[in-house]
Structure 1
Amino acid sequence: MGLIQTLAGLLFGSRNVVRETAEVFRENAEAAAARASGLQGQVLAQYAAEFALPRPGWFDRLMDGLNRLPRPALALGTLALFAAAMVDPLWFAARMQGIALVPEPLWWLLGVIVTFYFGARHQLKSQDFQREIATTMARVPAVLENLTAIAELRHDSPGAAGTGVDATLTLAAGEPSDNPALDAWRAQRRA
């Protein structure tokens, strides 16, 4: 009996060898929850200490607001440029011509500033972007010609049914023709 009692005491007594051995392979869930709770409490205490003091003045509040503006302003500005290009292509093309006059070193400087601010851009990307803008601007005349051609194809544009300089066609357009379907339609409208 003494041997069994000693073994049981060793395994399940004040020092539990089975539990200690199992904790080598699997984390104690109760101890992990206690550690996580302590960590969360410390994080909340740090946040509370950081925001407990009121801001000293309007300048700090202004700077906090300005620090939050660039990312949304760039995103919304880019979307506005796309909308402007679709709504008024001539206005957009005129603005892009102004951008085409910006010297390349200034583009590099802008690229460096934006790269520094956002941290994940490279100067090469901004130069590639400038080349792509130049390529797009070279296509503006063709796009304007296409828009003019599309406008002329509309059925409600002035002169859509014009005969041009063809005198024979102009005279034929004014003379009534033998068209039974048109005659039936006219008779139906009179009734």
Structure 2
Amino acid sequence: MGLTGSIKGVAEIGRLAQGLTEVFVPNRTAAQALDHEAQRAALDQLEAEFGRSGRGGFDHAVDGLNRLPRPLLALGTLGLFVYAMSAPVGFAARMQGLAYVPDPLWWLLGAIVSFYFGAREMHYLRRPSVRPRPAAVHSAWEAGPAPETGEDADNPALAEWRSGRS
């Protein structure tokens, strides 16, 4: 009876020690399970959002239109440079025409562009990001001294360093 009680006591001490060590060093298995659950939840969310759920042609057309403003602005600006070089007189006439646009209309254009890109930026800032945890990196410094090999024998600096450490 005494032996059984002492074995149970040792097991209890082991469980307490494990619980105490998990305060300082997290349980890697549990952390990996939680990371896996978070990754799976993110993938399920993406599948629900972007999966083929019987969306019609209209939805695909609107998605395509939503992807157009940034490329059109970039390519349109490059097109203005090409137009200015190829037809400077026509370009100058159009730019003089822009001088007649009233200020409130410029403000409205600025507000529309700002809200479009600002809302897009806020969308990406507000959504939760699940990033995979990088793998642990073990360097030669953490691994301890390397065993003496034949290829290290011809390196006098390495031999001196090893002999000075021991």
**How many angstroms does 1:34 deviate by?**
0.8
Q: Distance in 2 between matches of 1:6 and 1:105?
A: 82
**How many angstroms does 1:53 deviate by?**
1.0
TM-score normalised to structure 2 length: 0.59
**Residues 89 and 25 (structure 1), Cα distance of their counterparts in 2 relative to 1, 3 Å cut:** farther
Q: Distance in 1 between matches of 2:73 and 2:93?
A: 21
Q: Distance in 2 between matches of 1:74 and 1:109?
A: 17
Gaps (5+ residues) in structure 2? 120-166
Q: Distance in 2 between matches of 1:21 and 1:82?
A: 68
- Which residue of structure 1 lines up, in the alignment, with residue 55 of structure 2? 55
Q: Distance in 1 between matches of 2:28 and 2:10?
A: 25
Whose relative contact order is higher, 1 or 2, with alpha carbons under 8 Å and at least 6 apart?
Answer: 2
Q: CA RMSD in A?
A: 2.5
**How many angstroms does 1:97 deviate by?**
1.2
**How many angstroms does 1:65 deviate by?**
1.1
1:19 aligns with 2:50: no
- Which residue of structure 1 lines up, in the alignment, with residue 146 of structure 2? none
1:110 aligns with 2:70: no
Q: Which runs of 4+ in 1 moved over 6 A?
A: 1-4
| 1:1-191 matches, cutoff 5 A | 5=7, 8-12=10-14, 16-50=15-49, 51-56=51-56, 58-119=57-118
Larger Rg: 1
**How many angstroms does 1:85 deviate by?**
2.8
TM-score normalised to structure 1 length: 0.52
Q: Distance in 2 between matches of 1:46 and 1:6?
A: 46
Q: Distance in 1 between matches of 2:22 and 2:82?
A: 61
Aligned-partner SS, 1:119: helix
Q: What letter matches 2:40 in structure 1?
A: G
Q: How many residues align?
A: 116
Q: Distance in 2 between matches of 1:6 and 1:61?
A: 65
**Residues 18 and 83 (structure 1), Cα distance of their counterparts in 2 relative to 1, 3 Å cut:** farther
